[in-house]
Structure 1
């Protein structure tokens, strides 16, 4: 019995001894083939042979492996075992959401990241503007240029923030209309309630007289009263069309008129921002040939703005202005269009 154990340990020792000799001999061959070089670079077949021989020693080769460092040899072994599984982390954006982001971006080339984010929020899909930006950049979609801030500075900003719910801003904008006399500017008067962003927009006119502006003021006051909005302050610039009678009417309604400083468009930034939106996103795409056409375009835009468009203001929270609207994640996604596709929005089709 003792002889059997002796033979077993002798065979095992001899096998390891031979493996050590083979390992050292193979390294000598490697070194001989590289005489005259500063550094030894192992080839894949050489690494495989070193690992094969090292396996005979249970990879206990620290005292006989001279051609490479021990860490390198351990790295070869780890590479054979394959990559370690990654730790669980944040889930990626679902492919269906990525496809929807790209669909909206391609169908509406002038929409920015936050505009797309608001439309997705309506559809019950929560996604960050930065994620949308990353998706569009990854897919090679051109970025939308940023827009400058229109927020009022300093104490004026503090005043506006403190009176948002009772504050209305007003301004005129023009749109050229082609007539038999050539191009003539049509004037539109806008009133916007800062707290809710609800807007009243007058019909267009070529001759914005004092009487016309006064009548539009009456219409706006009745419209805001119907919406349950109590006005205390009205912001407007120093345009001569804001006459004494215009201010007297609002004073009779217990509304204080505040004129902005000279050459300070940011002091009336909310109204300026609205006018910029309607021009960029709508009116600049049309050549108007009559006041009726311009009024129709403005009515379609205003209905879209007040009922369907998400608003990106920090105090609004990228939401739709319509009080009865609530996001839903059920139903197929459909695209609605108006004015030949210039205006578009998305909604869930009821089952």
Structure 2
């Protein structure tokens, strides 16, 4: 609207300049001709109402409002003088409204949006922080804001007070304790001979390193107990046992009660998942799905010996090469290499494929 009003003002200003060299006789003739054209248009329109755009109303109001009412009545206009004056009042009222918005309102200024987002973030990332604790943290960051303002922001966002939102969810527990958590589970598969094989595997939550503890057709309590002892010895030899505090497993009857005592003696507490709640051991369940899709469902397993060899190859691939989103595309036992930045290296890439398990798994490496 403002652009159109400016356009009308400029065009009519040039039109006014065109009238300067005209004589009074020429101007009177043009006025009479325009009046006659207006009479013709009114006769053709009849009772139909003429509609003015907002910019037309603003221009006519600014042009005609300074004239006396008596003069407005003598002019042959499509609208009444009262309508022109009403348009002028609306124009002035709109100007006052826009000016009042730009003026600084009295009272406390509104809290900046970035501060409000920071307050909400601190509250959601720290469920046990009340508004006073958040106010203190903001002061350490150099953000000056009243404690009552923090309380009002939390209330407006629908965030409950700290005592009512300090419940730790299972997902929060897993994330916060990932460095200290191992999880294990059994996987069942069938060889070409029709024999059922049971695979026992353990995975570290933080590093995503997988350990295949063994395979057997008969997972007796003695076999499972020995597999747990071997796991503890492997962790101790790697210097990682002291960091492990929890082991998550389901309530499968294949696990003997003795393994809990063995783990407790090593300083590891057993955490049992709820009945029929696989999401409580979600990381292990996700690895089981990956192992089936990438290995077990694509390989003809002849016997137990073939299964062990295939699992050994897949364990090395998973830990040393396969990328993980949770590790930002790194592997559990391999960091990401430095990115290639030199243009010459990009244009002369020489990538070789390395096959595992006869081509079931492909790995790609730079040529030596």
- TM-score range with shorter-chain normalisation? 0.5 to 0.7
Indicate yes or no: 2:200 matched with 1:176.
no
- Cα separation, 2, equivalents of 1:270 and 1:167: 11
User: Which residue in 2 is equivalent to 1:52?
Assistant: none
CA RMSD of aligned residues (A): 1.6
Indicate yes or no: 2:358 matched with 1:340.
yes
Q: Give, in angstroms, the shift of residue 226 of structure 1.
A: 3.3
User: Which residue in 1 is equivalent to 2:218?
Assistant: 207
Q: Give, in angstroms, the shift of residue 211 of structure 1.
A: 0.8
Q: Deviations over 1:126-174 (max 9, x none)?
A: xxxxxxxxxxxxxxxxxxxxxxxxxxxx711111111000100010001
Change (3 A) 1:326 1:227: farther
Q: Is the 8 A contact 2:209 2:333 kept in 1?
A: no
| DSSP 3-state at the match of 1:203 | strand
Indicate yes or no: 2:198 matched with 1:187.
yes
1:88-99 matches, cutoff 5 A: none
- Cα separation, 2, equivalents of 1:265 and 1:274: 12
Q: Is the 8 A contact 1:328 1:348 kept in 2?
A: no
Please tell me whether Structure 1 or Structure 2 has the larger radius of gyration of its CA atoms: 2
- Cα separation, 2, equivalents of 1:226 and 1:307: 19
1:256 to 269, 272, 277: 269
Q: Is the 8 A contact 2:209 2:319 kept in 1?
A: yes
Q: Which moved more, 1:261-270 or 1:170-179?
A: 170-179
Q: Is the 8 A contact 2:351 2:365 kept in 1?
A: yes
Q: Give, in angstroms, the shift of residue 324 of structure 1.
A: 5.7
2:247 to 234, 250, 269: 234
What TM-score, normalized by structure 2, do the two folds share? 0.50
User: Which residue in 2 is equivalent to 1:318?
Assistant: 329
Answer 1 or 2: higher relative contact order, Cα 8 Å, separation at least 6: 1
- Cα separation, 2, equivalents of 1:282 and 1:343: 8
Q: Is the 8 A contact 1:236 1:260 kept in 2?
A: yes
User: Which residue in 2 is equivalent to 1:163?
Assistant: 177
1:288 to 273, 294, 301: 301
Aligned length: 192
Change (3 A) 1:178 1:270: same
Q: Give, in angstroms, the shift of residue 325 of structure 1.
A: 5.4
User: Which residue in 1 is equivalent to 2:151?
Assistant: none
Gaps of 5+ in 1: 1-153
Q: Is the 8 A contact 2:299 2:360 kept in 1?
A: no
Gaps of 5+ in 2: 1-167
| DSSP 3-state at the match of 2:191 | strand
Q: Deviations over 1:150-202 (max 9, x none)?
A: xxxx71111111100010001000110233xxx12100101101011111112
What TM-score, normalized by structure 1, do the two folds share? 0.52
2:229 to 218, 221, 225: 218
